[in-house]
Amino acid sequence: MATVLVVEDNKAQREMISELLIKMGLKVSVASDGVEALEQIDGNPPDLVVLDIIMPRMNGYEVCRRLKSNTKTQNLVVVMCSAKKEEFDRYWGMKNGADAYIAKPFHPQELVGTVKQLLRA
C-alpha cells in the first residue's frame, strides 16, 4: 500500500484531501506545516507528498527545495496543491522541484488522477 503525506495548515482542507486519498486505498499521514513535514519525512519517508505552499514556519517552496536537494529524498514525488493559481506560481512550484501542481479549488478527480498517475510512474 502506497503512503502519502498531506502537508496543509488548514484543518478542513487537510481532512478533505486525506479522505480522498484514503478512499483511493492509500495510507495517509498528515503534517500542519513544513517543519513538521520534514521531521516526519526524515523518520519515515512516504511515497508521495501533497504539499501546500502558504504555511507557517516554512512554506511549501522551501520544503520542496529541501526534499529535492537531499540525496535521501530527491526521488520523493511532490504534488503542490495551493490557492496560488497564477501561471507564475505553477512555474515557480515546478522550478522548485514539484512533480505536479494543482491549483485550489480543485475537482477531486484532478487530485485523484494526478496522484494515481504519479504513483504508477
Question: What is residue 107's three-state secondary structure?
Answer: coil
Residue 121 has pLDDT above 90, yes or no: no
Average pLDDT on 66-76 reads 95
Sheet harboring 77-82: ordered strands across?
A: 27-31, 3-7, 48-51, 77-82, 100-103
The 10s digit of each residue's pLDDT in 90-120 is 778 888 899 999 988 888 999 999 999 999 9
Rounded distance between C-alpha atoms, residue 80 and residue 103, angstroms: 8
Reported residue count of the chain is: 121
Contact in structure between 67 and 93 (CB atoms under 8 Å)? no
CB atoms within 10 A of CB 63: 29
Cell numbers placing 11: 484543518
